[in-house]
């Protein structure tokens, strides 16, 4: 890419890769957790709700530090720490966790918009719960799931604090769009390159928001069956 320098291009492509993986891998968990929070009653529901929302409330650097400790050699998740430590996979994990609350909220809202009477009806017609979910709930919330995915992707593209704390800022490996901007701003003459990345960030964010709005209006239409 002639317009962008090689370092900035690397950062952009890495960000896209990290965010895609973060979104795709966390999506099934997001749907599961959203469904549990919206429909199931079980002990510890509020605790789960709190834990899902924690990354939204905590300073990102705290989330990053907790990941660092958790996946560190002495941490409880130490055995798999090598897979994530200072690699792009770690950046994807950090981004996925930071984006998770947004994803779950969007999906949960769309599940709550589905009339539970429809799910009950499906059960009386002979569908076991997993079938009810696959044939009634999921098709009706699909636009909501996509909205959650788009929002999560945008959030992952912008993740900074947890990423830099957990996997540092290694060009070509863990240097994503925001950390690259930060780096360019630290060196003399880096403003131009930083500004281009800033413009790209704004574009991605706006595009994602517009896409999620458009998908959101489809939820309502789909639930109404038009």
Partner 1 sequence: MSLRVEVRRAVPGFTLDAAFEAPAGVTVLFGPSGSGKTTLVNAIAGLVQPDAGRIAVGDRVLFDSRAGVDVPVHRRGLGTVFQDARLFPHLTVRQNLCYGRWFARVRQPLGPVVEMLGIGHLLDRRPAALSGGERQRVAIGRALLSAPRLILADEPLAALDDARKREILPYFERLRDEAGVPILYVSHNAAEVARLATTVVALEGGRVVAHGPAAEVLGDSEVAPLGVRAIGAVLTARVARHHADGLTELDAGGVPLLLPRVDRAIGTALRIRIAAHEVILSRGVPVGLSALNHIPGSIAALRDGEGPGVIVTLDTPAGRVLARITRRSAEAMGLAPGQPCVAVVKSVAIAREDAGG
- Do residues 26 and 96 make contact, with C-beta atoms less than 8 angstroms apart? yes
d(CA 62, CA 60): 5
Answer yes or no whether residue 135 interacts with partner 1 by CB under 8 A: yes
Site size for partner 1 (CB under 8 A): 23
Answer yes or no whether residue 113 interacts with partner 1 by CB under 8 A: no
Considering only 29-37, 80-88, 134-142, 185-193, which stretch makes contact with partner 1 by CB under 8 A? 134-142
The count of other CB atoms within 10 Å of the CB of residue 181 is: 22
- Do residues 161 and 56 make contact, with C-beta atoms less than 8 angstroms apart? no
Q: How far is the CB of 108 from partner 1 (least distance, A)?
A: 19
* Nearer residue to partner 1 within complex by CB, 119 or 159: 119
Answer yes or no whether residue 40 interacts with partner 1 by CB under 8 A: no
Answer yes or no whether residue 140 interacts with partner 1 by CB under 8 A: yes
Answer yes or no whether residue 42 interacts with partner 1 by CB under 8 A: no
Q: Which residue is associated with the tokens 């709190």?
A: 50
Selection from 166, 178, 175, 191 nearest residue 71 by Cα: 166
Q: How far is the CB of 15 from partner 1 (least distance, A)?
A: 35
Q: How far is the CB of 114 from partner 1 (least distance, A)?
A: 10
Answer yes or no whether residue 226 interacts with partner 1 by CB under 8 A: yes
Q: How far is the CB of 168 from partner 1 (least distance, A)?
A: 46
Answer yes or no whether residue 124 interacts with partner 1 by CB under 8 A: yes
d(CA 162, CA 92): 11
How distant, in Å, are the alpha carbons of 22, 23, 211 from that of 206? 20, 18, 9
By CB under 8 A, the residues from 193 to 222 that bind partner 1 are 222
Selection from 85, 94, 105, 88 nearest residue 60 by Cα: 94
Per DSSP, 133 falls in state I
Where on the chain is the footprint of partner 1 (CB under 8 A)?
115, 117-118, 120-129, 131, 135-136, 139-140, 222-226
């Amino acid at each position: 890419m002639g317009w962008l320098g090689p370092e900035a291009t690397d950062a952009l492509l890495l960000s896209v890769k990290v965010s895609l993986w973060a979104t795709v891998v966390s999506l099934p968990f997001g749907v599961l957790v959203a469904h549990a929070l919206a429909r199931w009653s079980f002990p510890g529901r509020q605790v789960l709700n709190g834990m899902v929302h924690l990354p939204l409330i905590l300073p990102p650097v705290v989330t990053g530090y907790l990941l660092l400790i958790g996946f560190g050699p002495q941490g409880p998740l130490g055995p798999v720490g090598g897979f994530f430590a200072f690699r792009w996979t770690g950046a994807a994990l950090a981004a996925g966790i930071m984006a998770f609350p947004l994803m779950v909220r969007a999906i949960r809202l769309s599940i709550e918009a589905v009339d539970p009477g429809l799910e009950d009806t499906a059960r009386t017609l002979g569908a076991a719960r997993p079938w009810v979910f696959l044939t009634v709930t999921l098709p009706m919330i699909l636009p909501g799931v996509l909205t959650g995915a788009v929002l999560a992707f945008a959030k992952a593209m912008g993740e900074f604090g947890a990423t830099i704390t957990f996997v540092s800022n290694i060009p070509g490996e863990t240097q994503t769009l925001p950390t690259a901007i930060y780096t360019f701003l630290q060196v003399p003459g880096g403003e131009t390159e930083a500004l281009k990345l800033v413009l790209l960030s704004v574009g991605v964010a706006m595009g994602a928001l517009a896409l999620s709005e458009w998908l959101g209006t489809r939820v309502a239409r789909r639930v109404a069956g038009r």
